[in-house]
Amino acid sequence: MHVLRRLRSLVFTTRQSHDVDRQLMNHSNTLASPRPATEILPSVFRELPCDILRLVLEASAWNSIYFDRQHVVNLLVLSKEINTWIGWIAYHTIVLNPAKVDKFVSFAQSRDPEFFKPRVKVLALTGSKLSATKEMEAVIRDRLQGLHTFHYSCILSPFIYMGPSLRLSWMPNLQFLSLPWRLLAAQDAGDIEQLAQGRITHVHLHFEATDLGRDLDGKLRSTLAKFICVTHLALDRYTDDLLQWLHTDDMRHVEIIVVFVTTVPPPTFPSTFTKLKTRPVNHIYSFGPFFNRTIGHIDFFVDTPS
């Protein structure tokens, strides 16, 4: 970690821009001459073996992928050699708020359709409103078929869906689906059937407080029952009746159920709820940083406090 902090604190000689996304999207046109990485980096790293240096730079890029994209861009434009090390990390996870959706759609449409399929594995759409909905649907359908994780959330409260309905097309490699119940419920029956027949094993559903007061039980149960490959289910809100149903034979394929609780001590559940685990949070807005830390991790349910 000392090496990573040292690397993050260094000033690299690169072209600077206030638009990090534009810099990332055009990095191939701004690369430095192809010199070895040991000549580009400061002297503190020149004594390191090449394989160790690569591990350090990759770890530094992963450490910055969500909250310091500028650092990733700085690494990308150091040299062509370093670009080949870091490029796959830069595209692995795409997090878009409303201000970035249009730019990303334009960039995606300008590239070969096959460019993103092997690169982009995680897509997270955040924000109160999603612009270019139809265009984004086309990008997901035609260019992001390599996705294994898809998140949809709202910045102000990550588990409140506000905005136009995004049609979720079938994604053959999708394993982790995290989205508001209202968005899933708004899908056509045929689209839900296609999603359910895929490879999704982890589902995280976000409910608004008013959702549980509605007569949703029938539709929620019929929808969840279609996802027969799901083994892990997370719910930020729940009812006792829902938890009891999830422990019946109808949902025997679900192995772990995680519920978020805001009370201390957490509520006591019947001993028959053998699949159930709880994850305490201090306040509903604590979901925000928790969401950001777990983007892209299908091991979301590992080491969950019981």
Query: Per-residue pLDDT tens for 113-131?
Result: 898 989 899 898 877 666 6
**CATH architecture of residue range(s) 97-294:** Alpha-Beta Horseshoe (3.80)
Q: What does the pLDDT look like over 17-39, one tens digit per residue?
A: 445 555 555 555 544 444 555 55
Under 8 Å between Cβ of 211 and 184: no
Q: At 121, which amino acid appears?
A: K
pTM of the model: 0.76
Q: At 248, which amino acid appears?
A: T
Q: Where are the domains of the chain?
A: 2-92, 97-294
pLDDT of residue 36: 58
Residues of the chain with pLDDT under 50: 1-3, 10-18, 30-34, 155-160, 283-293, 296, 298, 304-306
**Six token digits for residue 119:** 């690169």
pLDDT of residue 228: 94
pLDDT of residue 155: 44
